[in-house]
Amino acid sequence: MLLTPPLVLMANAALRGRGLETLPFAVAVAVGLTPEMLPVIVTTALARGAATLARTHEVIVKRLPALHDLGAVDVVCVDKTGTLTQDRPVLDCALDASGAEDPDVLRWAAANSMWTIQLAEVPAADALDEALLDAAEQRLPDGLDALEHDPVAALPFDPVRRLSTAVIRTPDRLGSHTLIVKGAVEEVLERCALGAGERSRITALAAARADDGLRVLAVALGERPARTRAYTTADERGLTFVGLVGLRDATAETAAAALTALARSGVEVKVLTGDHPGTAARACRELGLPPGEVVTADRTEGLTDADLAELAARTTVFARCTPEQKARIVRVLRERGHVTGFLGDGVNDLPALRASDVGICPRDAVDVARETADVVLAAKDLTSLDHAIAAGRRSGGTIAGYLRITLSSNFGNVIAMLTAGLLLPFLPMLPAQVLVQNLCFDAAQLAFAYDRQDPAALRRPLRLRPREVLRFVTGFGLLNAAADLATFAVLAWAVRAGSDAEGQASFHTGWFTENLLTQALVMLLLRTGRGRRGPVPLAASALAAAGLLLPLTPVGAALGMASLPVVYYPLVGVVLALYAGGLGWCGRGHR
């Protein structure tokens, strides 16, 4: 826009001796070359996508450009808990000392949970206790009735000793109390009367289950004479080992399908979690996401950013991550050329939310996370994220399609205007005609904001690469300019458009009509949407009709247009057919 008007002025002044009288034409050309509808198309496409997400999937886009960024995302970093898994554990196994399934182990563990909660008056039940009680109700023959004992006392869980103890009257034995102790494996074993070999074997059994992704608790019993004085932690000695209970995180119901959909869309998922490596790997395997080699974050401490980027590119799961380590991994992925999204909900996720291209959080995230995030999901659910990415690709595809079409058309007009200024002894089009032509094309382009995208375009991340756009614009612009030059030949030889007023009016009208017809073809053949119906085909038809009929109306006469001889239409039809063939051939090559 900035270069063409001076070139037009200089060319006309140097070769045709025309001076400032060409200034209105040069200004009109500058206006015609400007993609005036870009802000309208961008805002409308993004706003429609955001409104659809809010209405149908309860996804709130707080920053409109973030929707376009979502369309370009090719890596999504997520935490495990609450995203791949639910915020609750479930029982996986209850094993005796030999490693065999034993329902009595579950019964004693659940009894500890029940009476600890009730007697210790715990404000809120621990998730592990709730999981054990749920499992007892479902798996034991009598359900929770099997846990009905005569309770005596309880010592609640203590994070220092990592144990909880419930005391009941020993079933079928008068004058005796039974201590039910449940907690961390090493703490319980330390209080059991076991030999070194037996202790090592049980420790190895628990470690194997932990490496398999389970949270393992040990259960032990102790029998004491009945008494009235209070029980203390000193009584948790000389216990008899009963068994182990293993709990795993329940996978989110929609996570497996969402991961499959993201992979099908070309989006890679990275799991950044503070959990145990085995726990994270197990959750990924259950959901069909191959964890590969799980990397603990301490391995990344001594790596340079370049080395960490290489490691992050081939690693799916990072475990034992601190907030700063999560943010660094996200940052190096961006520096490697990935467009990254990060899904988090806590204060510790703020560094990674800020480091990502698109910060995403669920609706129930902490306030500061919702303020920082660009996109808020109705739930911490990857399915909603997949819908948001698809909406971003639809909006981004609309914007990219508009840019390619309008820039290639404008580039072709630049070449045609400069060539006409060099070859013709008169202006190739009157300024008012240039502006009306531009107005018609702009009005028709509004339809792009409402076009439906080809489903194939939604299967991969949307990346608007300048080099590709430049090649596209150059190729189609030259093709458009060739059609214009062919039209010049038609007008000069067949229609006899000369230097007199009538001949100039014919030239102006013929080029005006051909320009609108070629632009209508460009809209139809280069659009990213598909289908014979829709707003774009209708708008292109209206644009072609305007090019054919406007010169025949009083408005055309007021703009200095004249009716064209019949021979013009079949000749320009041949030009347009060749042009359409070139568009189709180049379009297939581009796709």
Q: Considering the candidates 69, 74, 79, 484, report the single residue annotated as catalytic.
A: 79
Question: What DSSP string describes 231-260?
Answer: P-GGG--SBEEEEEEEEEEEEPTTHHHHHH
The tokens describing 540, both together, are 């292109």
Q: In what order do the strands lie in the sheet with 215-225?
A: 85-96, 240-251, 215-225, 176-184, 163-169, 151-158
Residue of 122, 237, 225, 211 lying closest to 177 (CA atoms): 225
Active site residue 79: yes
Asked if 360 and 67 touch (Cβ cutoff 8 Å), the reply is no
User: Dihedrals φ, ψ of 548, to 5°?
Assistant: -80, -35
Asked if 216 and 244 touch (Cβ cutoff 8 Å), the reply is yes
Exposure pattern of 77-90 as b/e (b: 16+ CB <10 Å)? bbbbbbbbbbeebb
User: What region, left, alpha or beta, does residue 218 occupy, with left being phi > 0 and alpha being psi -120 to 50 degrees?
Assistant: beta
Residue of 441, 443, 417 lying closest to 430 (CA atoms): 417
* CA atoms of 268 and 78, how far apart (whole Å): 11
Asked if 455 and 562 touch (Cβ cutoff 8 Å), the reply is no
* Largest CA-CA distance found in the chain, in angstroms, rounded: 125
Q: How far is CA 478 from CA 384, 410, 485, 581, in A?
A: 43, 10, 10, 14
E strand intervals along 325-434 = 340-343, 358-362, 375-377
Residue of 96, 316, 93, 323 lying closest to 213 (CA atoms): 93
The DSSP bridge partners found for residue 251 are 85
* CA atoms of 232 and 304, how far apart (whole Å): 52
Q: Beta-carbon neighbour count of residue 101 at 10 Å?
A: 11
Q: Beta-carbon neighbour count of residue 393 at 10 Å?
A: 27
* CA atoms of 337 and 359, how far apart (whole Å): 17
Q: How far is CA 213 from CA 118, 207, 368, in A?
A: 30, 10, 32
* CA atoms of 18 and 10, how far apart (whole Å): 9
Asked if 110 and 147 touch (Cβ cutoff 8 Å), the reply is yes
Please give, one letter per residue, the 3-state secondary structure of 448-513. Answer: HHHCCECHHHHCCCCCCCHHHHHHHHHHHHHHHHHHHHHHHHHHHHHCCCCCCHHHHHHHHHHHHH
Residue with tokens 């981004």: 396
Report the relative pairing of strands 60-61 and 375-377 from DSSP bridges. antiparallel
Residue positions annotated with a catalytic role: 79
